[in-house]
Amino acid sequence: MQLLQTDSLQRYRRRDLPALIDLYEGNYLRVMRLFPELDDLEGTLVSRVAGALNLYATLEERFKYTTTVLLTYRFVDDTGVSLEPNARVCIYHDVRAAELVSHCRRKRTRKVHKWLRGRMPELEHRWEMNRFLYKWLGFCSKQGHIFLNCTARSVENPARPVSR
């Protein structure tokens, strides 16, 4: 029983601001592994790997110190095309960090927690979102996805997503 308590306390203590910044830095490394030629990214590209879903990346905006990319899968059904998780990733070049700004995962609702002493719901929400990004980027890399000029293909007319 004591071991269980210790593990949960350690897990909770790791969800502080310095740990979140470490997670952002880890996300940056994984994003750069997926986009080694990020400066050359234009429009919408698709990475195709045998036995895996096609991964789409769209450059949303690029500035001197930040780049925002949409990273998603596309699912086609009778109602049209849906984009999931439709992850909007902001890459901060000057501090070498990447943050998941928004996403829309299927049938997922955000629980609203009241403020309690010692708890920070916004920090925990960012932690959960960016932990998802960290794991998903690792999964994409393990599948073999990479966006290089010689391997990724440009998508001429991306299908319009269905809003859900």
Condensed to tens digits (0 to 9), the pLDDT of residues 105-128 reads 554 454 555 555 555 677 888 888
Residue 58 lies in a domain: yes
Residue 162 lies in a domain: no
Q: Give the integer Cα–Cα distance in Å for 94 and 108.
A: 33
Owning domain of residue 137: 15-109+121-154
Identify the residue with better confidence: 28 or 125.
Answer: 28
Residue 7 lies in a domain: no
* pLDDT score of 163: 41
What total number of domains does the chain contain?
1
Task: Indicate the pTM of the whole model.
Answer: 0.77
Helix (H, G, I), strand (E, B) or coil at 72: strand
* pLDDT score of 151: 74
Residue 164 lies in a domain: no
CA atoms within 13 A on the CB side of 41: 28
Residues above pLDDT 70, as percent of the chain: 75
Q: Is the pLDDT of residue 164 over 50?
A: no
Phi, psi of 40 (to 5 degrees): -95, -5
* pLDDT score of 156: 64
Residue 65 lies in a domain: yes
**Range 122-129 contact pairs with CB under 8 angstroms and sequence separation of 24 or more:** 123/15, 123/16, 123/17, 123/20, 124/15, 126/20, 126/99, 127/15, 127/19, 127/20, 127/23, 129/100, 129/103
Q: Is the pLDDT of residue 162 over 50?
A: no
* pLDDT score of 16: 82
Task: Name the CA radius of gyration of the chain, rounded.
Answer: 18
For 58-103, how does the pLDDT look when each residue is reduced to its tens digit (9 = 90+)?
999 999 999 999 999 988 888 888 888 889 999 999 999 999 998 7
